[in-house]
Amino acid sequence: MICENITVAENGHLKFAGQDVTELAAQYGTPLYLMDEDLIRANCRTYQQAFRKHFGDKARPLYASKANSFKRIYEIMKEEGMGIDVVSSGEIYTALQAGYDLGQAYFHSNNKTDEDIRYSMEHGIGYFVADNVEEIKAIEAEAARRGVRQKVLLRLTPGIDPHTYEAISTGKVDSKFGSAIETGQAEEITAFTLKQPHVELVGFHCHVGSQVFAEDVFERAAVIMLEFVAEMKEKHGFMAQQLDLGGGYGVRYVESDPYLDVDTKVGEVAKAIKDTCARLKIEMPEIHMEPGRSIVGAAGMTLYTVGTVKKIPGYKNYVSVDGGLPDNPRFALYHADYTCLVGNKMNEPANFPCSVVGRCCESGDIIQENVMVPESVGRGDIMAVCTTGAYNYSMASNYNRLPRPPIVMLKGGTEHYVAVRRESLADLCRNDL
């Protein structure tokens, strides 16, 4: 299986985090998001241990909460001692509702509104990761108004193409994010920021992409960023305290995706960082990374009920489920891979090729193409889509006025509880006047 938390019982039922998915579907209804709380916590600990081991006590992983944002996840991050990154007042509000201390939060985004800046400072945001000069000006103005000095990192683009999907590669010079080192804009914004009386520059940030498996993307980014750190020290007398290398480690969506060992990977990045700091004769800054997908991706599974099975002889077959694009837009967005399994028929051979499609009035409403399922697949079967813990609920919509599914958390092999309730039909009209 693509992840250890997916197993099959003797009766041919799929189990997720040790629990029978057909029973969960019967109890909570479908579509249904499941989240394996134990795996989320284990992933947080894996990152924290690797960071302590390879970078020392001050280094820390921050959970990129856009991957999946709801109250319970911030409570878990608080309990696990994780920093977080947030990208909107909405994520900040949710974190505050969970009692998360915003002092440990980093506010990203390429376009923070004045209201975002005001709201987050009002609630004690720890750090801004400023994308551009305009933002520094807006932060300076708000900090001056409040009579405080606001900590800020600058987002830079190291000019790396991580050979991933175009739509989620963000470290290239022509990206909408950050200031490019290559064009001199990174130095300009650094010099500008250092002149602001109410902004305290604490370091630099970059994020080169997502679902990255390529060998040395983070090492290359780290070297470029450290060379910039050394250059700023020499030219402007500014030594960065923090260096944040962003998120992006990949997870396994399909059998052909490689395994990625976080401890090994972090160890390799740490070696490149230590070697480079020694070569440049600078102290190693506090190292941060921002895993999102690799914390929650494999901790999620979506369950659907199969409806129509349409066979077009000589062409193709369609298996329709009771959700689709509104709860998982990732195939429509960038043809993302997924593994689909018929949860109540795991002991039948998967010999029937089909496209698993949603129920929306949109041809692009596809979960996955070229899926093999048992030939007997039919109405009432449970379709499980694996690795949906990242960028599914957080990207969900109400297209076709479909209520968003609930999130049920699984724990300890037997416990389960609702963390986000299912939207009702009344919820759909709550803002309609």
Ligand X SMILES: *Cc1c(COP(=O)(O)O)cnc(C)c1O
The CA–CA distances, whole Å, from 108 to 28, 64, 80, 126 equal 35, 10, 22, 12
* Residue 361 falls in the annotated catalytic set: yes
Number of residues that bind ligand X (CB under 6 A): 16
CB of 29 to ligand X, least distance (A): 28
Q: Using the rule CB under 6 A, which residue among 246, 323, 343, 389 binds ligand X? A: 246
Residue 292 touches ligand X, criterion: CB under 6 A: yes
Residues 56-75 within binding reach of ligand X (CB under 6 A): 64, 66-67
| Shortest separation between residue 46's beta carbon and ligand X, angstroms | 14
Minimal distance, residue 87 CB to ligand X, in Å: 7
As a whole number of angstroms, the distance between CA 419 and CA 71 comes to 8
Given phi > 0 = left and psi -120 to 50 = alpha, else beta, which region is 163? left
Q: Which stretch binds ligand X (CB under 6 A): 21-29, 230-238, 285-293, 405-413?
A: 285-293
Q: Please give the biggest Cα pair distance in the chain.
A: 72
Closer CB to ligand X, 64 or 332, in the complex: 64
Q: Does 19 bind ligand X (CB under 6 A)?
A: no
Segment 366-395, which members bind ligand X (CB under 6 A)? 390
Cβ burial 345-359 (10 Å sphere, 16+ → b, else e):
bbeeebebebbbbbb
Catalytic residue among 3, 277, 354, 361: 361
Query: Which residues 93-112 are close enough to bind ligand X by CB under 6 A?
Result: 108
**100-136 as b/e, with b when 16 or more CB fall inside 10 Å?**
bebebbbbbbeebeeebbbbbbebebbbbbbbbeebb
The answer to whether 172 and 157 are in contact (CB under 8 A) is yes
Closer to ligand X by CB, 299 or 342: give it: 299
C-beta neighbour count of 337 within 10 angstroms:
16
Strand partners, 243: 204, 287
Say whether residue 172 binds ligand X (CB under 6 A): no
What is the Cα–Cα distance from 239 to 204, expressed in whole angstroms? 10
Choice from 37, 131, 290, 327 touching ligand X (CB under 6 A) = 290
Which residues are designated catalytic?
Answer: 361
Residues that bind ligand X (CB under 6 A): 64, 66-67, 85, 108, 207, 210, 246-248, 290-294, 390
